[in-house]
A and B are shown apart, each in its own frame.
Chain A
Amino acid sequence: MSNFFTTRLFFVSLALVVIAATLPLYVSGYVLGLLTVAFYFGVFAMAWDLLFGFAGEVNFGPTFLIGVGAYTAGILNAQFGWSVYPCIVLGALASVIAGLVLALPALRVRGPYFGLTTLVAVLMLQNFIVVFADLTGGEIGLTIPDVISINAGTNYWIALGFMTISAAILYGLSQSPIGLVLQASGQDPVQAGALGFNIVKHKLAAFIVSAFFSGLSGALLVFYFGTASVGTVVDVAVGVNVIVSAVLGGRRTVLGAALGAIFLIVAGEFLRPTGELATFIVSAVALLVVLFFPGGFLGAALSREARS
């Protein structure tokens, strides 16, 4: 685990980031905008993979964490006039607190019930936003007065930098001793307990980290869009996209999740001329990968390496 800096994965990742960083010099603002959104989604998917791939807990409501972060940041800016950066930080913190409140009781229930709890949390958040429309903008959405930057290139670099740093932290964490313990608890909780590990504590920590990055990314996305709406950061369909991205990219790989998210968003956009069919085609590809390559893009490559 100490020799990551000599692995092929590291060099490929480094090359990809360097190439991505030069894109604003020669591609259109339209492509940059698309990738900016894709990068924020990449962080959502990586944060989700830490929970599913390592802690073994299926969080059906990634948008609960994302939405709390996004809306907290948006409301503080739009309704209370706070400046952008404190709003982003507080958005991430609100997500952590919301995650704690949800996970503390939810991690005590076993099996599918954890997933169901997280799903219900999304529906409750969605309801809250619609009911308290004065505060949240309701179904129409909340217009955010401030943005981080109006320059497409700057926004792109911020998103790329944010995703790269998040990837480094989340991947590093997943390969650290904590990641190993987390993986052991996810795979065989009884044995991990008998080895002396407090499983609930480790899973809770994973949930908090996941919540932090989801909330932070959600808040950043709001200040990129200039709006916060249920359809973009809370809806169950958004959460499904996050989950599909992570599974598509490869469970237990963290980095694969980002690849999956970028693929999903870019492919959806390329297929836009096909109209309503676009979603169908992307979903069909995702379904085929899940059915026939459950390891995902990166998972398949990594496990081939592991066997050799």
Chain B
Amino acid sequence: MDMRLSNRAVLEVRGLTKRFGGLTAVKNLGFEVNSGEIFGLIGPNGSGKSTAMKSVMGIERPTAGEVIFEGENVAGLPAHKIARKGFGMVFQHSRPLNRQTVLENILVALLPDSLFMLFPDKALVERAKWIADRVGLGNVMHRRPPTLPFADLRRLELAKAIARDPKVVLVDEPFAGLTRAEVDIFSDLIRSFRDEGRAVMLVDHNVKSVAALVDRVLAMYLGEEIVTGKADEVMRNETVRRVYLGGAIETHARPETSFKDRAPLLQVENVSVFYGKAQALENVSIHVHEGEFVSVVGLNGAGKTTLFNTISGFLPYGGEIVRGGDKLRGTSPAKIARSGLVQCPESRELFGEMSVRENLDLGGQHLPDDKRAAQLAWLFELFPILRERQGQMAQTLSGGEQQMLAIGRALMMQPQILILDEPTLGLAPVILEQLSKALTKLRETTAITVLLGEQNVTFALPHADRVYVLEHARIVWEGDPGRFASEAGADFL
């Protein structure tokens, strides 16, 4: 047999590009995955890694480029055709058929794409049972999904993805929402896919969490490849370190004792939150003093957004949240926001078909006309670009301008406490600099208390007086930003 042929990559991606309107999510990406290899596609939130995976699978149609599977270009085919050629995908969020058993759910994945199969084949049922055993669902195969713990639901997703014996398995964030013990079990399962000769491609946020699992890693940022190589090589790469950790960070922390309020303005005490069976926050306690700038850093999925949504009153929780001595439980989100605890959400939530000015005016709706005008004038000082864009529809703004508008709208509510959830998401470095300057100004010229959530450490540290690190639903580190790099930084590569 020709050795070169048998060693050839099962999956080859060349010049893959995906544009959404004016936004280029994936830019000229190229890599190959061999059978019997685990390949990681790594990048911070908004870097385009999930879009790249969806473009390979055919869920998104690539704008340009080739996806070559066993010598055949499958780019542009619909997902169901690509799947039948030998691809399986493990989704992060599962929506199993709740009235069917686990076994029947697996059986669905085995069915042919035919309108004439009225009775399931005995052989298919046997195969489904074998797969259930294979992923560790043997004991629960006759139960229905609503009665299963979260980890078993993830196993069910694995089972469906490998059901038809695919040559390429794509896994979207394999460990999201799993405990450390479960991470080990799932790592072993994914390794066993490799050992069976499949090509496995993982998408995740940072190298470290998958370093023990992957054979090779491609790190990407803003849709483009930074470097490809072994996990430890990639972690040593200068550009990767800069993207994740930043260069030398100048911090301006004010000591906690310099804040005059005796009891902190905002206290989150032992808060726990569950999404169904998955625990999103576990006994989280943080506090923020009046006028303080506190950053909560954590990777995607660590629970930052959940924490902020809990504080804003959107989620039921265990524990207590106290603001200025009063418990917030039972107060509606609208009332919390109106009383000056304002969140600028990660997803921005702009009114896309309204103008920039209308968006801002809605933020300042409750103010008397003269106060609103004054607030607006102040805001235009902070973000001059918004003054120029006043008449433009919000959805036609660039990503950076949209983020400024989202922050601006929150500021029009004259917050006492401003929560900023990942303002840097998917933004180019030059925009980050502008945002960073605005935050500096905010900190130096106003009394607004800021709670910032970020996975971009470079952005989160320079302004912060204090930093919390959130990991797997728990606070694992608290301290001065100057000590962050030496004490907690390694987890962020």
Contact = CB atoms under 8 A, between A and B. Distances in A.
B147 A307 contact: yes
Interface stretch (B21-29, B75-83, B220-228, B305-313): B75-83
10 contacts: A1-B104, A176-B118, A177-B120, A180-B107, A181-B111, A181-B113, A191-B91, A194-B80, A205-B115, A252-B99
A195 interface: yes
Residue picked from A177, A196, A197, most chain B C-beta under 10 Å: A196
Contacts of B87: 194
A303 interface: yes
Nearest to A172: B118
A83 interface: no
Given A180-B111, A306-B146, A196 B95 contact: no
A196 B104 contact: no
A178 interface: yes
Given A180-B100, A183-B97, A196 B164 contact: yes
B108 interface: yes
B367 interface: no
B91 A177 contact: no
A180 B104 contact: yes
A302 interface: yes
A307 B185 CA distance: 28
A188 interface: yes
Interface string B92-118: 000101111000100111010101011
Contact of B120 (A1, A252, A303): A1
Contacts of A181: 108, 111, 113
Contact of A195 (B83, B99, B120): B83
Contacts of A197: 80, 111, 113
Given A178-B118, A181-B108, A302-B99, A193 B146 contact: no
A193 B160 CA distance: 12
B20 interface: no
Interface in A195-230: 195-199, 201-202, 205
Nearest to A196: B83
B155 interface: no
Interface in B33-62: 57-59
Given A195-B108, A197-B80, A177 B59 contact: no
B95 A191 contact: yes
A196 B113 contact: yes
A196 B108 contact: no
A180 B104 CA distance: 9
B108 A194 contact: no
A258 to B, nearest CB: 19
The 4 closest A-B pairs by CB, nearest first: A196-B83, A193-B79, A194-B89, A188-B95
Interface string A287-308: 0000000000000001100110
Nearest to B147: A307
A302 B146 CA distance: 14
B111 A190 contact: no
A187 B95 contact: yes
B375 to A, nearest CB: 38
Interface of B: 57-59, 78-80, 83-84, 87-89, 91, 95, 97-100, 104, 107-109, 111, 113, 115, 117-120, 144, 146-147, 160, 163-164
A73 interface: no
Contacts of B58: 193
B99 A187 contact: no
A306 B104 contact: no
- Looking at B57, B88, B111, the one whose CB has the most chain A CB atoms below 10 A away is B111
A193 B83 contact: yes
A163 B99 CA distance: 25
Nearest to A198: B80
Contacts of B95: 187-188, 191
Contacts of A302: 99
A307 B146 contact: yes
B146 A195 contact: no
B117 A178 contact: yes
A173 B116 CA distance: 10
Nearest to A190: B59
Given A177-B118, A198-B113, A252-B99, A184 B108 contact: yes
Given A198-B113, A303-B99, A176 B89 contact: no
Contacts of A178: 115, 117-118
Contacts of B107: 177, 180
Contact of B59 (A193, A205, A306, A307): A193
Nearest to B166: A196
Nearest to A173: B118
Contacts of B164: 196
A86 to B, nearest CB: 27
A73 to B, nearest CB: 27
A160 to B, nearest CB: 25
A290 B203 CA distance: 41
Nearest to B116: A178
Nearest to A187: B95
A306 B163 CA distance: 25
Given A193-B78, A196-B83, A201 B113 contact: yes
Contacts of B160: 195
Contacts of A199: 80
B111 A194 contact: no
A173 B88 CA distance: 27
A198 B80 CA distance: 6
B71 to A, nearest CB: 20
A194 B78 contact: no
Given A190-B79, A197-B80, A177 B117 contact: yes
A188 B78 CA distance: 16
Given A190-B59, A196-B164, A199-B80, 13 more contacts: A178-B117, A180-B97, A183-B97, A187-B95, A191-B95, A193-B78, A193-B80, A193-B83, A195-B83, A196-B83, A198-B80, A306-B99, A307-B144
A303 B146 CA distance: 10
B55 to A, nearest CB: 13
Contacts of A183: 97, 100
Interface in A21-66: none
A192 B59 CA distance: 11
